[in-house]
A and B are shown apart, each in its own frame.
Chain A
């Protein structure tokens, strides 16, 4: 996730100070991984340097004064470019699970046990996400669904590999 672009996107709604931005980010995208303050301020300083944001006054409060940041035209263009550029699909060709299956077969250990243990671990995580989805709002549901569909793809691969283990064992033994 490009934090810089996410912060720029949030600034399109109007100027905000750093703490406010962090809160908005955590609420929408933070989920299990909230931003550190350091990340927010270092990102803002980079955006400032690149001309994507500008300082928009200081907000007086009970504590220290807080700088407000506004998005610039260059910032808007940058967000537009980011939104219209598709994310590069993961090739998924480096696969630890495949390596474990092959190494289990090569060493005479049970590849079925490797696959079954992984299946159980995947389903445990999928159950947790399904429960979280049931208690959550639409944002929670969509975020959990993204994870669930990806885990399901892994599980389908585990199942397919389990069905082809004899064939794979013969090839590995060559």
Chain B
């Protein structure tokens, strides 16, 4: 059964048609790579799927933790924001950690925003930092860590709330091969252990090879090889 399903998405920025009838289906717990050349619309597809951007037309349905079908495309900003905070996790290429906070505070932040007490939030954050092998930088600020460590801190923060879907947009784009592989290995291992689905936008085939299957986006249209059969 599908967890997240988008159909007929269109999205334009001025005269540029970023999405032109794209669709995708994500099942529970699977890792799906969204591939395609630069400017093909793959990041816009991720943003529409995750409720960050509203599409111009088309629908996105999500089955939440209680099993209810919810249509993201008919929610208001506040509802989408709430859904993102409680059900989704995000890993981007750059600039996602708050520079003034320590790494531990960064990882604990989503839990604190949901009202959890500091002590409990930081305990959960520490567990996740250990799983992502970055417990040693807990007290450092993001600017004091290496690129690979910072990205693993970001993965820990994406996982700390127990999301059902993790959206990762070029998560290794700024890393060298070795650090990129470590991030991908730890991200996909943790996601498989917790049962979270991963929507992984990448143009790197070696990163896509960590997925269970791929969807190709070209000229704003997606080709979901499996579901097209």
Contact = CB atoms under 8 A, between A and B. Distances in A.
A130 B185 CA distance: 9
Given A134-B185, A163-B37, A149 B206 contact: yes
Looking at B185, B189, B205, B210, which has the most chain A CB atoms within 10 Å of its CB?
B205
A156 interface: yes
Nearest to A120: B225
Interface stretch (B9-17, B61-69, B126-134, B211-219): B211-219
A123 B209 contact: yes
A151 B223 contact: no
B209 A130 contact: yes
Give the secondary structure class of A's interface. helix
Give the secondary structure class of B's interface. mixed
B208 interface: yes
B63 to A, nearest CB: 26
Interface in A137-174: 148-149, 151-152, 155-156, 159, 162-163
Contacts of A59: none
A127 interface: yes
Interface in A113-146: 116, 119-120, 122-123, 126-127, 129-130, 134
Contacts of B189: 134
A126 B37 contact: no
Given A116-B225, A119-B216, A134-B185, A127 B209 contact: yes
Interface in B158-185: 185
Q: How large is the interface on A (under 10, 10 to 19, 20 to 34, 35 or more residues)?
A: 10 to 19
Contact of A148 (B209, B212, B214, B223): B209
B37 A151 contact: no
A66 B29 CA distance: 56
Interface residues of B, number: 16
Contacts of B209: 123, 126-127, 129-130, 148
A149 B5 CA distance: 33
A116 B37 CA distance: 14
A149 B206 CA distance: 8
A167 to B, nearest CB: 15
B211 A156 contact: no
A87 to B, nearest CB: 22
A151 B225 contact: no
A151 B216 contact: no
Contact of A130 (B37, B204, B210): B210
B37 A155 contact: no
Contacts of A129: 209
Interface in A98-124: 116, 119-120, 122-123
A88 B207 CA distance: 29
15 contacts: A116-B223, A120-B214, A122-B205, A123-B205, A123-B209, A126-B208, A127-B209, A127-B210, A127-B212, A130-B209, A134-B185, A148-B206, A149-B206, A152-B204, A162-B218
Interface of A: 116, 119-120, 122-123, 126-127, 129-130, 134, 148-149, 151-152, 155-156, 159, 162-163
Top-4 shortest CB links A-B? A126-B209, A155-B205, A130-B209, A152-B205
